C-alpha cells in the first residue's frame, strides 16, 4: 500500500496534515468543490472503495451534491496528490 498525503499550506505554514493508506480496492475519487463569490475551493477528497466492508476514506470535508468524480483503474495508478492553499485561498494540485 502507498501513502496518500493531503497538506493544506497557508502563509508558508502547514495547518493540516492527514495521511491515509491506499488500498487496491479504491476505484473512484470524489472531490468536494465549494463555490463562493471569491472563488472555487476544494473542501475535501473521498477515496471510494469497491468493497463496502472497507468503507470510504475522507480527507477534509465531503459536500454531497457538490462532488466531482474521477474513476481510476487501480490504486497502483495513483502515486500521490497534494493540495495547498495560499493566503488568497488559491489551490494548487500536483499529481
Report the distance separating Cα 9 and Cα 7, nearest Å.
Answer: 6
- Going by their DSSP bridges, the two strands 91-94 and 67-71 should be labelled as unpaired
What pLDDT is stored for residue 92 in this prediction? 44
Report the distance separating Cα 82 and Cα 91, nearest Å.
Answer: 10
Q: Where are the domains of the chain?
A: 3-94
Q: By percentage, how much of the chain surpasses pLDDT 70?
A: 59
pTM: 0.63
Report the distance separating Cα 67 and Cα 25, nearest Å.
Answer: 20
Helix (H) / strand (E) element for 94: namely strand 91-94
pLDDT tens column, 34-46: 888 877 888 888 9
pLDDT tens column, 8-35: 444 444 556 677 777 788 889 999 988 8
Amino acid at each position: 500500500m502507498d501513502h496518500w498525503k493531503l497538506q493544506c499550506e497557508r502563509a508558508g505554514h502547514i495547518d493540516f496534515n492527514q495521511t491515509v493508506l491506499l488500498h487496491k480496492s479504491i476505484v473512484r475519487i470524489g472531490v468536494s468543490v465549494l463555490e463562493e463569490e471569491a472563488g472555487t475551493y476544494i473542501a475535501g477528497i473521498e477515496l471510494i472503495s469497491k468493497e463496502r466492508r472497507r468503507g470510504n476514506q475522507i480527507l477534509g470535508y465531503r459536500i454531497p451534491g457538490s462532488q466531482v468524480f474521477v474513476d481510476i483503474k487501480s490504486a497502483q495508478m495513483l502515486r500521490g496528490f497534494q493540495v495547498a492553499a495560499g493566503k488568497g485561498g488559491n489551490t494548487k494540485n500536483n499529481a
